[in-house]
Structure 1
Amino acid sequence: MFAQLGMKPKPIAALDRLPEFPWAVSYVWDWFHEFSGGLKATGMAPVMAGWDDIQHWSQAMRLDLDPWEKRLLVRLANLRASVQAETESAKAKDRK
């Protein structure tokens, strides 16, 4: 993701202070872990999430999610896939 933005990430030690965890929405973080664990891989690329995925998952879990919660879950899942792709790309370069 950083490569796409033309940026280099700062090492963790260089960060002044990590932001506080948003406890008010910790339930969405729990949902994300459950949701992302059920995504199906369709090939070699990291698993992306779509609207159908979140709709099927929320129906299966009998959850009535607000639109912002659905958007957040899809964004988190796709950010996760982007980070995984960068990590795999870096590992492949290191192997050469």
Structure 2
Amino acid sequence: YQKTVNHRSQLMRDQPKSPRDVVVYWTEYAIRHKGAPHLQSPVKGMAWYQIYNVDVWLSLIVISIACLYLDIKIIIALVRRCCYRTKTTGELKKKKE
């Protein structure tokens, strides 16, 4: 465990600049570019329903419910057709006589 910790420590310390220099650079960069809006996340200007893809989820839910409804209707129609026999015209004629 100690070997792994030491190895990772060496990897993290092998940087071209010190952490202080990196902080100074990025602070000066943000000041030079007036807050660096080009580095900000595009989510910052989006509405909550766009961030969470509410329109996509609602579309998928509506399509799923419509497909489920149609499947149930088809199954009911097939069960009625297969399981409940109607009288044929020959049986109806015999019955009338």
The TM-score, its normalising length taken from structure 1, stands at 0.30
For the pair shown, which has the larger CA radius of gyration, 1 or 2?
A: 2
Report which structure shows greater RCO (CA 8 Å, sep ≥6): 1
TM-score for the superposition, normalised by structure 2 = 0.29
